[in-house]
């Protein structure tokens, strides 16, 4: 067995070190190693107390997620923790980095906990569609009370050491060196003969909830909206409830049952897929992690419109000074006023201190002088979606910027290579496709042009990480990954309405599937004029022989641009964002259907779901085949973070795998026969279906 847990003595204290990089996950070797090391410590007459700590960057960060779904090899974690808690010698957990999940459960099995001030503790299991399965739901409420425990377990967010100390999770903040401090703490506990605090044996903190069981119902109601569709948050509540209603051992058994129920659910499979997909996306086979990057000290943004302002806020939020260049004083004033308003709104909600708001605002400098970009390490262009304007800007950037500066475009539909051709340094040109609102949405598509240098990609990726984005590499094509797939989704939504569904029905089906809103509510929010202008634009690259529903264009011709004009696919009362079905739209749709000779019919919910979501899968397959996306899971990451695809369904490609590609292919082929060329099945989908394979079996085109 791998030597992943060490035991050694430090004075009168035995030190158990878990050394299982990168995050000291509780693999079977670690679990067995802990049992052995504990036995050594107990047998070591010179050790009056024991310390458990993690080597490297962190204490134990949880169970080994890669072992989930495989048969469990003993000892199981509950047994390990039970032995620690039953130890006749005091055991002290010494926390640094992230003591998460099973890691925190090990720490709660110890009699005392010390932590460095930078440590974080938490139960992130819920984010993997799980609940703490080794006593966390039974011990934490016994330690800190039911309500704070519910907050931590059901929300899954990490708790910084100082807060954990205030709550009573951490007994001592260790100043200076963790190991030395923890050994000293352990020696003190032994010398003072402090009682062994066995959390499992104490009940006092449960008494309040025992006499007021309504606390669980209240909590459940409180999360209902946010946790809509998810299983795990509600199972977490049930598990904590078991701590209050059952004796400790029975509570542990109940927790285990609920854990297994979650583990076997399709939701946790999907959420664990999402966890690994996000990490996989950052690996670019021909751009290794050690590719040199340019240090970004200053940034510039060209254009202070809808996107430019939000992009500038990203830089300021990360402490990077940013210059915003505009064409006119009016546009600049307007853009900067929006930025200030956004910061003020966040400050008003108490999520930003006034000082921090000032600091960030001061990092954003507006100017009309293009020369101001001269010393920026990165420039993001966010001017009008017009090839002529973009090329002019890039030619100017080429003349003005320092060598090696990253020249990025935020274009959503234009050819990054053509934009790069306006410069003599296409290697420095890259697409950074932010999503609206850019200061809120976490997704960034990094678009690689034909001549984009590896250093440029690595620098953009590092910058994305610094500004807190989830990023995915995309190839250069119309709409890149996300919007290219979305086109078919929106097209079918509009066709369905022409054929007889209502916008409200389509939106309800998509909402019930788990999206935060359906296609029509989303279009109204984003603004119908955006797509309208693109459709009318010369640079639009979509084939012209495919039919589009004319309804969206007609709405725009009537000035119905969505929420911002009080009407779009729905109408909106003044000051309200609630969509109200509008008979005028219904009439417009009916007229359009008539013109096209369509006989309207009742459309079933199942058909709506299939016809909206299958185009995502089919286009996703083409995108994979063309090498525009590196892997199916990258596409999933884009849909989870950019389009509100429900995380508990894993993303469109994962979802298609769960249905089975044979079924998906056959249904798409059937739509192809009845609805024509739009539905032509992607060759890759067909091949995988015929071979009985899934997208997860796809290993690239080799291109």
Report the interface residues with ligand NAI, using CB under 6 A.
302-308, 325-328, 331, 335, 382-385, 389, 393, 410-412, 434, 436, 526, 530
Q: What are phi and psi of 15, to 5 degrees?
A: -110, 120
Which of 119, 134, 150, 300 forms a contact with ligand 3HC (CB under 6 A)? 134
383 binds, among ligand 3HC, ligand NAI, none (CB under 5 to 8 A by kind): ligand NAI
Please tell me whether residue 98 binds ligand 3HC under the rule CB under 6 A. yes
Distance, first Cα to last Cα, the chain = 40
Answer whether 486's CB lies under 8 Å from 534's CB. Answer: no
331 binds, among ligand 3HC, ligand NAI, none (CB under 5 to 8 A by kind): ligand NAI
Answer whether 230's CB lies under 8 Å from 125's CB. Answer: no
Answer whether 608's CB lies under 8 Å from 505's CB. Answer: yes
Please tell me whether residue 133 binds ligand 3HC under the rule CB under 6 A. yes
Please tell me whether residue 503 binds ligand 3HC under the rule CB under 6 A. no
- Other beta carbons within 10 Å of 88: 7
109 binds, among ligand NAI, ligand 3HC, none (CB under 5 to 8 A by kind): none
Which tokens sit at 121?
A: 């503790």
Which tokens sit at 223?
A: 């999360």
Closest to ligand 3HC by CB, 108 or 430? 108
Q: How far is the CB of 276 from ligand 3HC (least distance, A)?
A: 6
342 binds, among ligand NAI, ligand 3HC, none (CB under 5 to 8 A by kind): none
The H-or-E segment that residue 178 falls in is helix 178-191
Q: Which of 8, 29, 85, 105 is catalytic?
A: 105
Interaction residues for ligand 3HC, span 53-82 (CB under 6 A): 61-66, 77
Q: How far is the CB of 451 from ligand 3HC (least distance, A)?
A: 29
Which of 279, 341, 541, 547 forms a contact with ligand 3HC (CB under 6 A)? 279
Reduced to 3 states (helix: H, G, I; strand: E, B; else coil), residue 201 is helix
Closest to ligand 3HC by CB, 20 or 505? 20
What's the distance, CA 267 to chain centroid? 15
Instruction: Judge whether 255 counts as a catalytic residue.
Output: no
Q: What are phi and psi of 563, to 5 degrees?
A: -55, -40
Sign of the CA dihedral with 449 first, then 453, 457, and 459 last = negative
410 binds, among ligand 3HC, ligand NAI, none (CB under 5 to 8 A by kind): ligand NAI
53 binds, among ligand 3HC, ligand NAI, none (CB under 5 to 8 A by kind): none
Task: DSSP letter for 225, please.
Answer: T
Print the binding letters for residues 22-41 with ligand 3HC: x by CB under 6 A, - otherwise.
xx-x----------------
Please tell me whether residue 101 binds ligand 3HC under the rule CB under 6 A. yes
Please tell me whether residue 47 binds ligand 3HC under the rule CB under 6 A. no
What burial class does residue 257 get, using C-beta atoms within 10 Å of its C-beta: 0-12 exposed, 13-18 middle, 19+ buried?
Answer: middle
Reduced to 3 states (helix: H, G, I; strand: E, B; else coil), residue 91 is strand
125 binds, among ligand 3HC, ligand NAI, none (CB under 5 to 8 A by kind): ligand 3HC
Please tell me whether residue 102 binds ligand 3HC under the rule CB under 6 A. yes
CA angle 695, 696, 698 (to 5 degrees): 65
Answer whether 130's CB lies under 8 Å from 259's CB. Answer: yes
User: Which residue's CB comes closest to ligand NAI?
Assistant: 305
Per-residue b or e along 543-566, where b marks 16 or more CB atoms closer than 10 Å to that residue's CB? eeeeebbbbbbebbeeebbbbebb
Reduced to 3 states (helix: H, G, I; strand: E, B; else coil), residue 394 is helix
Answer whether 50's CB lies under 8 Å from 57's CB. Answer: no
Instruction: Judge whether 455 counts as a catalytic residue.
Output: no
Please choose, out of 45-53, 101-109, 323-331, 387-395, the segment that lies near ligand 3HC by the rule CB under 6 A.
101-109
Alpha helices by DSSP H, listed for 373-442, are 387-400, 416-420
Q: How far is the CB of 173 from ligand 3HC (least distance, A)?
A: 20
Please tell me whether residue 132 binds ligand 3HC under the rule CB under 6 A. yes
Tokens 């022409």 sit on residue: 498
Answer whether 231's CB lies under 8 Å from 265's CB. Answer: yes
Contact residues for ligand 3HC (CB under 6 A)? 22-23, 25, 61-66, 77, 98, 100-102, 105, 124-125, 128, 130, 132-134, 136, 279
As annotated, the active-site residues are: 105, 125
């Amino acid at each position: 067995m791998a030597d992943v847990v060490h035991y050694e003595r430090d004075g009168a204290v035995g030190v158990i070190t878990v050394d299982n990089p990168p995050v000291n996950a509780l693999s079977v070797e670690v679990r067995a190693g802990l049992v052995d090391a504990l036995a050594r410590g107990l047998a070591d007459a010179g050790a009056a107390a024991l310390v458990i700590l993690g080597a490297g960057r962190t204490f134990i960060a949880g169970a080994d997620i890669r072992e989930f779904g495989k048969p469990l090899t003993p000892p199981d974690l509950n047994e390990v923790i039970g032995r620690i808690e039953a130890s006749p010698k005091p055991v002290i957990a010494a926390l640094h980095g992230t003591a998460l999940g099973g890691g925190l459960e090990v720490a709660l099995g110890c009699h005392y906990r010390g932590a460095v001030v930078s440590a974080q503790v938490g139960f992130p299991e819920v984010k993997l569609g799980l609940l703490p399965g080794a006593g966390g739901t039974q011990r934490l409420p016994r330690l800190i009370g039911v309500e704070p425990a519910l907050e931590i377990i059901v929300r899954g967010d990490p708790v910084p050491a100082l807060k954990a100390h205030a709550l009573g999770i951490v007994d001592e903040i260790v100043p200076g060196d963790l190991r030395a401090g923890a050994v000293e703490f352990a020696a003190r506990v032994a010398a003072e003969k402090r009682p062994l605090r066995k959390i499992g044996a104490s009940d006092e903190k449960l008494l309040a909830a025992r006499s007021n069981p309504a606390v669980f119902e209240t909590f459940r109601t409180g999360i209902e909206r946010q946790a809509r569709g998810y299983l795990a948050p509600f199972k977490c509540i049930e598990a904590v409830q078991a701590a209050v209603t059952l004796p400790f051992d029975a509570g542990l058994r109940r927790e285990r049952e609920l854990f297994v129920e979650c583990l076997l659910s399709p939701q946790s499979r999907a959420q664990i897929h999402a966890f690994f997909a996000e990490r996989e996306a950052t690996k670019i086979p021909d751009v290794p992690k050690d590719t040199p990057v340019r240090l970004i000290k200053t940034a510039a943004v060209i254009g202070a419109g809808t996107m430019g302002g939000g992009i500038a806020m990203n830089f300021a939020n990360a402490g990077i000074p940013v210059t915003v260049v505009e064409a006119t004083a009016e546009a600049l004033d307007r853009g900067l006023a929006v930025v200030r308003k956004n910061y003020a709104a966040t400050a008003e909600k108490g999520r930003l201190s006034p000082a921090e708001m000032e600091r960030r605002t001061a990092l954003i400098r507006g100017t009309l002088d293009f020369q101001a970009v001269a010393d920026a390490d990165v420039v993001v262009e966010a001017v009008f979606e017009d090839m002529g304007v973009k090329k002019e800007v890039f030619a100017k950037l080429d003349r003005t910027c320092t060598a090696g500066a990253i020249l990025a475009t935020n274009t959503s539909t234009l050819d990054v290579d053509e934009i790069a051709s306006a410069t003599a340094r296409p290697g420095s040109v890259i697409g950074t496709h932010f999503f609206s609102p850019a200061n809120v949405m976490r997704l960034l598509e990094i678009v690689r042009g034909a001549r984009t240098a590896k250093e440029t990609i690595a620098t953009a990726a590092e910058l994305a990480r610094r500004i807190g984005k989830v990023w995915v590499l995309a190839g250069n094509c119309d709409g890149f990954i996300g919007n290219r797939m979305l086109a078919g989704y929106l097209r079918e939504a509009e066709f369905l309405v022409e054929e007889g569904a209502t916008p409200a029905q389509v939106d309800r089906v998509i909402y019930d599937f788990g999206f935060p809103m359906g296609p029509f509510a989303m279009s109204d929010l984003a603004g119908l004029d955006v797509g309208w202008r693109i459709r009318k634009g010369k640079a639009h690259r979509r084939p012209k022989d495919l039919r589009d529903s004319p309804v969206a264009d007609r709405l725009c011709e009537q000035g119905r641009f969505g929420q911002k004009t009080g009407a779009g696919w729905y109408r909106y009362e003044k000051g309200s964002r609630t969509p109200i079905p509008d008979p005028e739209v219904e009439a417009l749709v009916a007229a359009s259907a008539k013109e096209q000779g369509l006989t309207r019919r009742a459309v079933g919910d199942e058909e709506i779901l299939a016809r909206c979501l299958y185009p995502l899968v089919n286009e996703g397959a083409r995108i994979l085949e063309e090498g525009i996306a590196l892997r199916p899971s990258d596409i999933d990451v884009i849909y989870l973070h950019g389009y509100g695809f429900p995380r508990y369904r894993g993303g469109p490609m994962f979802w298609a795998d769960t249905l089975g590609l044979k079924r998906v292919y056959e249904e798409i082929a059937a739509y192809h026969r009845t609805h024509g060329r739009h539905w032509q099945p992607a060759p890759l989908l067909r091949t995988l279906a015929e071979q009985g394979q899934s997208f997860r079996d796809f290993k690239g085109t080799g291109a």
